[in-house]
Every structure is written in C-alpha cells, then in structure tokens.
C-alpha cells in the first residue's frame, strides 16, 4: 500500500462506506468502543482517519474541541455533510505525518486506520507524540492473533483492496513501548476478537 493507492481506494469506498462499516455488527462494535468513555467538557480530541465521521456520532461534539483528519478528501466530505455545526475542525492530513503540536490532545481516537495506512508504525508513533501526558489513545481495529499460513498467503492480495489482515498489535506496541505509554484495556468487540478495542494511557 502507498498513499496514492490508498487515496484512490477510499475515493471508491466513500459513497458506500457507511453501508458496510457503520451498521449491524460494526455499529454495535463502535457502541462498545465508546461505552464507558467519559469525555469532559472542553477536552481536546483528535480523530485520526475520521473517514465518514462514523465515530463522531458517539461523542458529545458540541462540548469538545475536536480535530478530525483524513487523507481522503472524499471521506472527509462525507463527514462534513453529517456534521455542519462548525464546531469540528476538519483537516486533510496524512496520519503518518501529523501537522500537529506535541502533547496537544486529551484523547486521540483511531478507528480502522492502523490496518489501512502504508506504515502503521509511523501512525502509532505520531498518535503517541500528539497525546498529552495523562491523555488516552483509543484504537478500534482488526489485528492478527496468530500468523496463520493461509493469512500470510492472502495478505498481499488483500492489501491491494486497501487493508492489512496481518497486522499484529502486540508487535506494534512492543516496538513503541517505553516509559511513556501503558496498555489500559484490550477488549474483543467483533468477529471473535478479530476486531478489538484498545485503550492506551500516556504517562
């Protein structure tokens, strides 16, 4: 995957994305992801890869200072159409190179983004960088539990469709684990644990 290919894929996905990923099982999974998250009025929240804005429906947008970024203009347009209140700062931006200051956000939220970007490690590093001390990172994504042979064989083919079925959160977390972050929650939310809610704290 590369940025050019990703942009082209999500240009095609944008009109139908909600039909597949914001209804039925995925809608229930998003509900689980945000269940119990207590946002405080005035907190700064970053949505990395906001897509069509499916996650924005689960937060009190009028009481938060929200920045929502996505690399795809078409996906951002879908989100803007849903939320025209003017309280959300929508920006086209590469999640691998966030043009945002260090330690800026109380919450950084990333749904179904790490598995679709060209370099998930860069994105994860950037998410950590812009989260303030005491802040939280919330991830909803699909992760491989075991490096199954069949999955290894079809992984390159599936990547052409714009997603990675072989991403290991454990490997990703271990690569960036240091004294600044800690794993607070790891919960299966969809398809027998293929999709997980992960919450990380920054010290």
| Ordered structural domains, the chain, with CATH | 3-202 (3.40.50.150)
Band the pLDDT of 129: cuts 50, 70, 90: very high
- Cβ-based neighbours of 24, under 8 Å, separated by 6 or more: none
- Residue 133 CA, chain-centre distance (Å), reads 20
Could you give the angle at the alpha carbon of 6 between the alpha carbons of 175 and 67, nearest 5°? Answer: 70
36 pLDDT band (50/70/90 cuts)?
very high
Given a contact cutoff of 8 angstroms between Cβ atoms, the answer to whether 129 and 102 are in contact is yes
Q: Which of 7-21, 47-61, 148-162, 189-203 has the lowest mean pLDDT?
A: 148-162
Mean pLDDT of 53-82: 96
41 close to 65: Cβ distance less than 8 angstroms: no
Residue count of the chain: 203
The pLDDT of residue 74 is 94
3-state SS class at 17:
helix
What SS3 state is found at 129?
helix
What is the chain's mean pLDDT, rounded?
89
Q: Is the pLDDT of residue 113 over 70?
A: yes
Half-sphere exposure of residue 193: CA atoms within 13 angstroms, side-chain side: 7
Check whether 163 has a pLDDT greater than 80.
no
> From CA 129, how far away is CA 125, in angstroms rounded?
6
Task: List CB contacts of 41: < 8 A, sequence separation 6 or more.
Answer: 60, 63, 64
Instruction: Output the six-digit token pair for 164.
Output: 């990675």
Contact 67, 132 (CB under 8 A): no
pLDDT class for 150, splitting at 50, 70, 90? Answer: very low
Highest average pLDDT, of 8-17, 81-90, 103-112, 175-184, comes from 103-112
The lowest-confidence range among 91-95, 123-127, 148-152, 161-165 is: 148-152
């Amino acid at each position: 995957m590369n940025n050019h290919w990703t942009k082209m894929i999500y240009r095609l996905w944008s009109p139908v994305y909600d039909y597949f990923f914001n209804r039925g099982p995925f809608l229930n999974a998003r509900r689980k992801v945000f269940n119990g998250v207590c946002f405080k009025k005035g907190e700064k929240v970053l949505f990395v890869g906001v897509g069509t804005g499916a996650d924005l429906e689960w937060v009190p947008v009028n009481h938060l200072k929200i920045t929502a970024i996505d690399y795809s203009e078409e996906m951002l347009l879908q989100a803007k159409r849903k939320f025209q209140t003017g309280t959300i700062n929508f920006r086209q931006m590469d999640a691998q190179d966030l043009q945002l200051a260090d330690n800026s956000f109380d919450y950084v939220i990333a749904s179904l983004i790490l598995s679709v970007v060209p370099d998930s490690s860069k994105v994860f590093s950037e998410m950590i960088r812009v989260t303030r001390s005491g802040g939280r990172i919330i991830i909803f994504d699909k992760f491989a539990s075991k490096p199954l042979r069949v999955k290894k064989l079809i992984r390159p083919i599936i990547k052409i469709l714009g997603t990675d079925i072989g991403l290991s959160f454990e490997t990703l977390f271990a690569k960036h684990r240091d004294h600044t972050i800690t794993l607070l929650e790891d919960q299966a939310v969809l398809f027998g644990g293929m999709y997980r809610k992960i919450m990380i704290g920054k010290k």
